[in-house]
């Protein structure tokens, strides 16, 4: 009898736990809430915290400054995140550019750095063209070309034309971080120097194959590589491809 009672109690507890877990998952699905992982990387200027919000959207924290990258409202609850000292926008596609979220994150002294196409749509911000270098909030920012060579729309035009979108290099002390934006493994990317942390997109048909990302990573050899914006591509394939390269591939929820 005691055994049956214990079994019944265990069954009820397991069922309750399952219902709670399913309820939490359903609640997250309905509300759009999800737990966001943060990595902390030590630099000579202090801690660099990277919060992975989703897809191409992330938040950086460094020396008391908050930097939002391609903030898009559908990727996270921005009412629970700090406002921006700096916002970086890579290009005008809706999975990277959300004017309402930019405005919600902005305070009186927020600087928005963006492309000319985004500036026309937002009506404000500091434009950076490919190759430009700016110092904003004591951070050096360099705009890197982001474009397609191989992958094109049915009309023959590239998904991302050359000169329209940016990737960005940011220097946190001696630690250089590269956010590539929507791009392929273009020649300008392969000439990058001193990159410690890189975010490279990996979804088809818009950006790169796993092999393209591997080729790009081997060319400038970051210490840490985050595949992001990876759609239905399996990031574990990149781990296998770069297994013996010395590059540490970190997979986060950036589908």
Q: What are phi and psi of 30, to 5 degrees?
A: -70, -40
* Res 1: pLDDT: 45
The pLDDT value recorded for residue 34 is: 66
Q: How far apart are CA 92 and CA 224, in angstroms?
A: 27
How does DSSP classify residue 35?
Answer: P
Domain boundaries, the chain: 1-30, 38-249
The tokens describing 95, both together, are 């999975």
DSSP state of 173: T
Arithmetic mean of pLDDT over the chain:
90
pLDDT for position 113: 98
Q: What percent of the chain has pLDDT over 90?
A: 86
Would you state the structure tokens that stand for residue 174, as one six-digit string? 């001696």
Q: In the numeric block, which tokens belong to residue 191?
A: 């000439």
Helix (H) or strand (E) segment spanning residue 42: strand 38-43
Predicted pLDDT of residue 32: 46
C-alpha distances in Å from residue 45, one per residue of 48, 61, 223: 9, 12, 18
Query: Does residue 233 carry a pLDDT above 60?
Result: yes
- Taking only the tens place, the pLDDT of each residue in 67-87 is 999 999 999 999 999 999 999
The per-residue pLDDT for 35 is 82
pLDDT tens digits for 194-217?
999 999 999 999 999 999 999 999
CATH superfamily of domain region 38-249: Ribonuclease Z/Hydroxyacylglutathione hydrolase-like (3.60.15.10)
Q: What is the pLDDT of residues 8-20, one digit of tens each?
A: 443 433 343 333 3
Given a cut of 60, is residue 179 above it in pLDDT?
Answer: yes
Q: What average pLDDT score do residues 226-233 get?
A: 96
**pTM for this predicted structure:** 0.87
Count CB atoms within 10 A of the CB of residue 251: 15
Which pLDDT score, from 0 to 100, does residue 131 have? Answer: 98
Q: Is residue 13 classed as helix, strand or coil in its secondary structure?
A: helix
CA Rg value for the chain: 21
């Amino acid at each position: 009898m005691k055994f049956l009672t214990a079994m019944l109690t265990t069954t009820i507890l397991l069922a309750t736990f399952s219902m709670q877990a399913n309820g939490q998952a359903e609640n997250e699905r309905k509300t759009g809430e999800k737990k966001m992982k943060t990595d902390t990387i030590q630099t000579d200027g202090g801690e660099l915290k990277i919060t992975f919000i989703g897809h191409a959207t992330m938040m950086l924290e460094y020396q008391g400054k908050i930097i939002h990258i391609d903030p898009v409202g559908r990727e996270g609850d921005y009412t629970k995140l700090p406002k921006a000292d700096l916002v970086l926008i890579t290009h005008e596609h809706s999975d990277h550019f959300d004017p309402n979220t930019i405005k919600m994150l902005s305070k009186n002294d927020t600087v928005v750095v963006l492309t000319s196409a985004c500036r026309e749509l937002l009506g404000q911000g500091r434009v950076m063209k490919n190759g430009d270098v700016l110092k904003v909030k004591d951070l050096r920012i360099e705009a890197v070309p982001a474009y397609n060579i191989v992958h094109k729309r049915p009309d023959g035009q590239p998904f991302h034309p050359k000169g329209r979108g940016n990737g960005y290099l940011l220097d946190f002390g001696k630690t250089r971080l590269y956010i590539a934006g929507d791009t392929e493994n273009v020649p300008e990317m392969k000439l990058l120097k001193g990159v410690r942390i890189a975010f490279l997109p990996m979804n088809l048909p818009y950006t790169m194959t796993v092999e393209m990302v591997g080729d790009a990573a081997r060319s400038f050899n970051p210490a840490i590589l985050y595949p992001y914006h990876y759609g239905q591509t399996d990031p574990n394939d990149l781990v296998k491809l770069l297994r013996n390269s010395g590059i540490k591939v970190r997979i986060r929820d950036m589908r």
